[in-house]
Amino acid sequence: MPVSDHQLYDAWLQVLSLSELQAGQTVTILTSSNTHPQTLAMASLAAQAKGAIVNRLDLPPVNGEKSLTRDLLSYFGTTPLTGNKAALAMLKASDLVLDLMVLLFSKEQHEILAGGTKILLAVEPPEVLVRMVPTTEDRVRVLKASARLRAAKEMHVTSKAGTDVRFALGDFPILEEYGFVDKPGRWDHWPSGFLATWSNEGTAQGKIVLDRGDILLPQKSYVTEPVTLSVENGYVTKIEGALDAELLSEYMASFNDPESYAISHIGWGLQERAHWSVLSLYDREATTGMDGRAFAGNFLWSMGPNNEAGGKRECACHIDIPMRNCSVALDGELMVQDGKVLPVGGGKA
């Protein structure tokens, strides 16, 4: 159901306040052909109400002729900022960039953040944004779990469906997503509420079994039959199963890049206002699937690039897979048990 301008305006005010936007600071709103007009209008009004100097930078889309889907997170390569020195300079000169376009997995984003500019991504439908307006409690929950993840040397994930996989940890930073940007050089995504890291290169070993109801993104589909993925030395080496396995295999093969099969980020969801079932209620082009990525107790893992974390692997293909009913342990201590976040260490209040 649509939300009113008033509701979305108030949501933006809360997010900008949490992001510590000050009067006189410069906000650049990054847009493209996919930007939701209500989100743009209310973001602009809220930033002006906070006393900011507001600009809009509208850039044409790229990669459309290469991608097999219209999903905004389905193909990473060049961005509208590639070679665009004027646009890059404008964003670097801003205190806050509101990304209503999707600028991810790019050296340009890293360069902008390195200068102290904050970037907040917000491309979900307005009703999803309003339902999951971030709070300080979201930050507390994510940071509590992050402290345990930061100290861990191994993540071990199991499930009754047959998953049994281990990831060595420690070489890469922690991704803490709680929905707002409260310090210089921070990136975040509204809505969110999860944390992740990247396994040490070449260390992931075991088996991942996708069960009915697990989610494939960017396919934005629920798995209907089990899919078994063999993981060896940090890569998925085999994908077995029926139709879902065939569809995933063919999609990934279309990129013709063996690095697409590398294990990327791994973590778990902590957002209790996100819902596993919501994906079935939206048109596929209306959402990027953040409910699936963030719902409390999921095991979220991915294949593809790790340059977002400072690694060298750049891939056009990026697959996110939120799974239900998994148990996630750090150095033998359970953070999530059978899809339920535990009170001790796992981030649950």
Name the residue ranges covered by the structural domains of the chain.
Answer: 5-131, 136-176+192-341
Architecture of domain 5-131 in this structure:
3-Layer(aba) Sandwich (3.40)
Q: What is the DSSP secondary-structure string of 275-331?
A: -GGGGGGS-TTT---HHHHHBTT-EEEEES--GGGT-S---S--EEEEESSEEEEET
* pLDDT at residue 347, rounded to an integer: 57
Q: 297 with 343: CB under 8 angstroms?
A: no
Count the neighbouring beta carbons within 10 Å of the beta carbon of residue 246. 13
Angle at 128 between CA 126 and CA 134, to 5 degrees: 105
Closest listed residue to residue 289, CA positions, set 279, 304, 302, 300? 279
3-state helix, strand, coil in the chain (%, to 5): 25, 30, 45
For residues 206 and 231, the answer to whether their CB atoms sit within 8 Å is: yes
Write the CB contacts of 37 (distance below 8 Å, at least 6 apart in sequence).
none
Crossing angle of the two packed helices 37-49 and 5-18, in degrees rounded to 10: 50
Cβ burial 13-31 (10 Å sphere, 16+ → b, else e): bbbbebbebeeebbbbbbb
Nearest alpha-carbon partner for 197 in 157, 163, 150 = 150
pLDDT score recorded for residue 349: 47
Q: How far apart are CA 100 and CA 279, in angstroms?
A: 20
CA distance 67 to 316: 9
Buried b (16+ CB within 10 A) or exposed e, 218-233: bbbbbbeebbbbebee
Q: Where are the alpha helices (DSSP H) in 152-273?
A: 243-253
Containing H/E element for 115? none
CB-side neighbour CA atoms (13 Å) of 11: 26
The rounded average pLDDT for each run of 10 residues, N- to C-terminus, in the chain (349 residues) is 95 98 98 96 98 97 78 76 95 98 87 97 97 97 96 98 98 97 98 96 97 96 98 98 98 96 97 96 90 98 89 90 98 97 69
Residue 278 has a CB neighbour count (10 Å cut-off) of 16
**Residue 69 has what DSSP assignment?**
S
Give residue 19's pLDDT: 98
